[in-house]
Amino acid sequence: MQLSARGVVLVLFTACLPTLPGEDAGTDAGRPIPPPAIDLAVGATHACARMADSTVRCWGSYTNMELAPITRDDLPAVVTALNGARSVTLGEDFGCAYFGPGTRCWGVGAQGQLGNGDTMTRNAPVPVSGDEVADAVAGGRHACARIDGGVVTCWGDNSQGQLGAGSAMMQSSTPLPIANLNGSQVDLGLAHGCARLVSGSVFCWGANDEGQVGDGTNSPQSTPVRVLGLDALAVSAGRFSCALGTDRSVSCWGLGSSTPSAWLFPDGGWREISVGAQLCARAADGTIRCLDRADAGVDVPVPNAVQLGSGDRFSCARTDGGTVWCWGRNDLGQLGDGTRTGSASPVKVGF
């Protein structure tokens, strides 16, 4: 979950959204004009944006590398230890960044989710052990990354088999390779993961109590199994799993259904999907639609959106102009607008 998710105890956000964006709520008042955001990462209860000036600004409840283990900021703060990062991914209570070369992780490490060989909490980024990893993705309390040749390695919590390596260990503080899986794209949920192969086939593994692995069962899978009847352009995992089909439709599984079913049809020309507590999808014209079941959905008014991210009952979108808008839960400052008031309509993040 990039917000992954993509990771967290997820609760469905079903509030209806009005048809107009929310007000800025004064977040820009008295603040310097910020550089544009060029990338977005959303975790369980916090989010970060990479800016055009090579800084990274974070908001919500997050592990802060400079102050205290848990910090709650209602407005984005520059995290200097992440300056120059080429990508950022956020989990439940940890995060990882790729600096090129090398990926470093920080935060709570009790399940080995920092990948550095121990289980200590770290307030500064530490290098992930082993071969150079890139394209890291954080889940609930585990992470995965691709190394040379597309091999997928995972580390952290393995209580539900979410490392995908077939290991009986409850956790691993160093990366374990997933045999026979060369993924072109990987995403992680709370305790499961999915990968799309170059061929378009989708494989998932880990927790499966609600059918989120998509193999027609409700049994946890410690190694990847193919999702039934599906070829995809992209995959996203959160509380459940979804795939963007080759025909630009969106199919999902989990939430009690152990095989994929159509949630959004191709007429929207869907280009991007993000799953947290709910599914949000972006169409070719920038339209965003969010839904938590196949027969319901509302359009979210964020003009010119180019990137999505979803967490625990809140979501964010980045526009082509470099602004970020968020909506949903805000008890920990997740919306980044300087308040603790939730909003069913998008509010502008106050960089």
Q: How many helices (H) and strands (E) does the chain have?
A: 0, 26
**Is residue 26 over pLDDT 80?**
no
φ, ψ of residue 322 in degrees (nearest 5): 90, 10
Kindly tell me if the per-residue pLDDT of 52 is higher than 90. yes
pLDDT tier for residue 182 given thresholds of 50, 70 and 90: confident
* Beta carbons within 10 angstroms of residue 64's beta carbon: 20
Cβ–Cβ under 8 Å, residues 274 and 3: yes
As a whole number of angstroms, the distance between CA 292 and CA 276 comes to 10
The gap between the terminal CA atoms of the chain, to the nearest Å, is: 23
Written as one string, the DSSP assignment of 279-299 is: EEEEETTS-EEEEEETTEEEE
Percent of the chain, pLDDT > 90?
A: 71
pLDDT for position 267? 78
- Residues 39-58 as b/e (b if ≥16 CB within 10 A, e otherwise) read bbbbbbbbbbbbbeeebbbb
Yes or no: say if 337 and 329 are a contact pair by the CB < 8 Å rule.
no
Record the tokens describing residue 329, joined without a space.
Answer: 């839960």
In this structure, the strands spanning 171-188 and 305-310 are unpaired
Q: What is the pLDDT of residue 27?
A: 46
What pLDDT shows up at residue 295?
A: 64
Mean pLDDT of 270-299: 90
pTM of the model: 0.88
What pLDDT shows up at residue 239? Answer: 94
Confidence of residue 71 (pLDDT cuts 50, 70, 90): low
Task: Give the pLDDT of residue 339.
Answer: 93
Region label for 248, one of left (φ > 0), alpha (ψ between -120 and 50) or beta (otherwise): left
Mean per-residue pLDDT of the chain: 87
The average pLDDT across 287-315 equals 90
Q: CB–CB of 205/224 below 8 Å?
A: yes
Query: In angstroms, rounded to a whole number, what is the distance separating the alpha carbons of residues 289 and 297?
Result: 6
Q: Please write the tens of the pLDDT for every residue from 246-281.
A: 999 999 999 989 999 999 988 778 999 999 999 999
User: What is the reported pLDDT for 31?
Assistant: 66
**If you average pLDDT over residues 330-345, what whole number do you get?**
94
Helix or strand holding residue 318 (H, E): strand 314-319
Quote the CA–CA distance of 27 and 345 in Å, as a whole number.
Answer: 16
For 121, list phi and psi in degrees, rounded to 5: -80, 135
The whole-number average pLDDT for the span 64-90 is: 76
Whether 4 has a pLDDT exceeding 50, the answer reads no
> At residue 75, does pLDDT exceed 80?
yes
Q: Does residue 202 surpass a pLDDT of 60?
A: yes
Q: Give the sheet arrangement for strand 87-90, strand by strand.
A: 87-90, 94-98, 103-107, 122-127
- Nearest CA to 150 among 121, 126, 181, 182? 182
What is the per-residue pLDDT for 149? 76
Gyration radius of the chain's alpha carbons: 18
21-30, 146-155, 224-233, 339-348: range with lowest mean pLDDT: 21-30
User: What is the rounded distance in angstroms from the CA atom of residue 189 to the CA atom of residue 237?
Assistant: 5
